[in-house]
Amino acid sequence: MKPIILLLTICCCSLSFADEGFTPLFNGKDLAGWDGDPALWEVKDGVIVGTCEGPDAFESNTFLIWRDGVVNDFEIRATVRVIGDNNSGIQYRSREMPDVGKWAIAGYQCDVHPAIQHTGMTYEEKGRGMFGLNGNNVLLDPDGARWLISKQEPVKVDTSEWNEFTVIARGNHLIHKVNGKMTSEFFDYHPGRSLEGILAIQLHRGNAHRVEIKEVRIKTLEKGEVLEFDPEMVSGKGKIERPKTSNPQGTGPVVPKSAKVLPKEDFESAL
């Protein structure tokens, strides 16, 4: 009887996974559907790999862009790790910036950052900057003021290990999670908000590192209401300054340009 029970369990789990309604965006073989600098992005052993060899490798952050559509209201789950002292991020509802570079992006980001305060935070690349740090839930009012509406214990993970990052976007309400635990909830009432755009993965300039993605799945959600701002929402809440950082890349110092960089053949073993 035990083998039959085990088989039934496996079948039920498979059906449950399918019923979740997620569609894989990475086929596990190549970068079909994705577009990035071919000198920086590849697929190795069933994993998407983006490599920054050091501070002189490229001038500004570059991205692997999903070309098969735009995202608006959705849930995305990506299993990611970053090897080396730097960070990555999941861009969504974003836009291209060809004046900056061919694969340059501006827009919302779920940060994949080793500094705990930035892990899974809500951020806008080349835009309005940081909103909610890990553990802080924030409202941005129509005038651009930030309000801390609630807090929870920051989610602590090692970003050099595999972790599942989740983004849920409905209307102007955004939720970030890491391994199923909420890191940041954000309500965007500012005119600069975006309700749709492209999806991408960040390769950060600077310190040598490697970003790896082994799974990306998306589920389209029923269109959410764009909530209107009511001053009562922030009654009794505290206004906060735009967060700043002492960790612009990783947890250690930023390596200056023209610093000695390892020969390419030694790079992988060093990471």
Give the DSSP letter string of 4-33: HHHHHHHHHHHHHHHHTT-EES--SSS-TT
Within a 13 Å sphere around the CA of 128, how many CA atoms are in the beta-carbon half? 22
Per-residue model confidence (pLDDT) at position 1: 40
- Which letter does DSSP use for residue 127 in this model? T
Alpha-carbon dihedral sign for residues 103, 108, 112, 117: positive
Would you state the torsion angle of the CA atoms of residues 40, 43, 49, 50, taken in this order, to the nearest 10 degrees? 20
Angle at 183 between CA 187 and CA 194, to 5 degrees: 35
Q: Whole-model pTM?
A: 0.90
**pLDDT, tens only, 142-177:** 999 999 999 999 999 999 999 999 999 999 999 999
Helix (H, G, I), strand (E, B) or coil at 162: coil
Per-residue model confidence (pLDDT) at position 257: 86
Low-confidence residues of the chain: pLDDT under 50: 1-18
Region of 71 please: left (phi>0), alpha (psi -120 to 50) or beta: beta
Name the strand (E) or helix (H) holding 76: strand 74-83
Per-residue model confidence (pLDDT) at position 11: 41
Per-residue model confidence (pLDDT) at position 179: 98
Per-residue model confidence (pLDDT) at position 5: 37
Which residues have C-beta within 8 Å of that of residue 219, sequence separation ≥ 6?
Answer: 20, 21, 22, 23, 74, 75, 76
- Domains belonging to the chain, first-starting first, are 21-264 (2.60.120.560)
SS3 content of the chain, % helix, strand, coil (to 5): 10, 40, 50
